[in-house]
Chain A
C-alpha cells in the first residue's frame, strides 16, 4: 500500500530564512504525481506545488521549490525567504495512476518574526 511519511510534526523558521520540509513515500508505481498543500488557520487547503514523477526537473513556484529524488522516494519542499504568511500546516500528498490520493500527517510550520 502507498504511504506518505512526514517525519517532522513541527518546524520553525526565522522570517526571510529558508526552511525545508521533508516527505517520503512508498510506491511500486513509476508514473504518479506528488503535491504539497498548505493549510493555514483558515483551514482552506491550498495547492503549493506539484511534481510529475516522469519529469526529472524539480518543480518551482516562486519561493517554493521541491527536491524530488525518485529513486529515494523523497519529495522535500523548500521555502525561501520565508514570510509570516507561510505559517501553516503543510501536507505532502501522493496521487497514484488510478487517481487515489494519499496524504501525509502534516508539518506545522511556524515563522518567527
Chain B
C-alpha cells in the first residue's frame, strides 16, 4: 500500500511553454501533498505544501505565479510550471502523506530547451 504515481516521468519542452505534472495517491487519500525540487547530488528542496481544497503554501523564494499548484481532490495534486525557462530544468518530486509518513512519487525530469 501507499503508492504514489507521478506523470510524466520525463518531459522536454521549449522555453516559454507551460508544463503540468500530476501526482496521484493510488491506494489512499492524502489531504496533504508536497512538491520538491532536487538538484543533482543534493537533498530535496521543499517548494510547497498542497492541501486538498485550499491554496498551497509556498516556501520562501518559490514564485507562486510560476509554480501553480492545484490539489482538487484527495488523490490528485498538480504542479504547473508556467512560462518555463532553462533554469527551471530539474527533477521534481511529489509526495503524499498517509497517517504520519510521506510516500514519494517516482519524480519527473523536466528539461527546458
Contacts and interface: CB of A to CB of B under 8 A. Distances in A.
Given A43-B91, A43-B106, A99-B32, A91 B100 contact: no
Interface string B97-113: 10011111011000000
A42 B100 contact: no
Contact of B34 (A37, A43, A52, A101): A101
B60 interface: no
A35 interface: yes
A99 to B, nearest CB: 6
Interface residues of B, number: 19
A99 B93 CA distance: 18
A103 B104 CA distance: 14
Given A42-B106, A45-B95, A91 B43 contact: yes
Q: How large is the interface on A (under 10, 10 to 19, 20 to 34, 35 or more residues)?
A: 20 to 34
A44 B93 CA distance: 9
A19 B67 CA distance: 40
B43 A106 contact: yes
A44 B107 contact: yes
Contacts of B106: 42-44
Interface of B: 32, 34, 38, 41-44, 46, 91, 93, 95, 97, 100-104, 106-107
Interface of A: 33, 35, 37, 42-47, 50, 52, 91, 93, 95, 99, 101, 103-106, 108
Given A44-B107, A93-B102, A103-B44, 14 more contacts: A33-B101, A35-B101, A37-B104, A42-B106, A45-B93, A45-B95, A46-B104, A47-B102, A50-B101, A52-B100, A95-B102, A103-B43, A105-B43, A106-B42
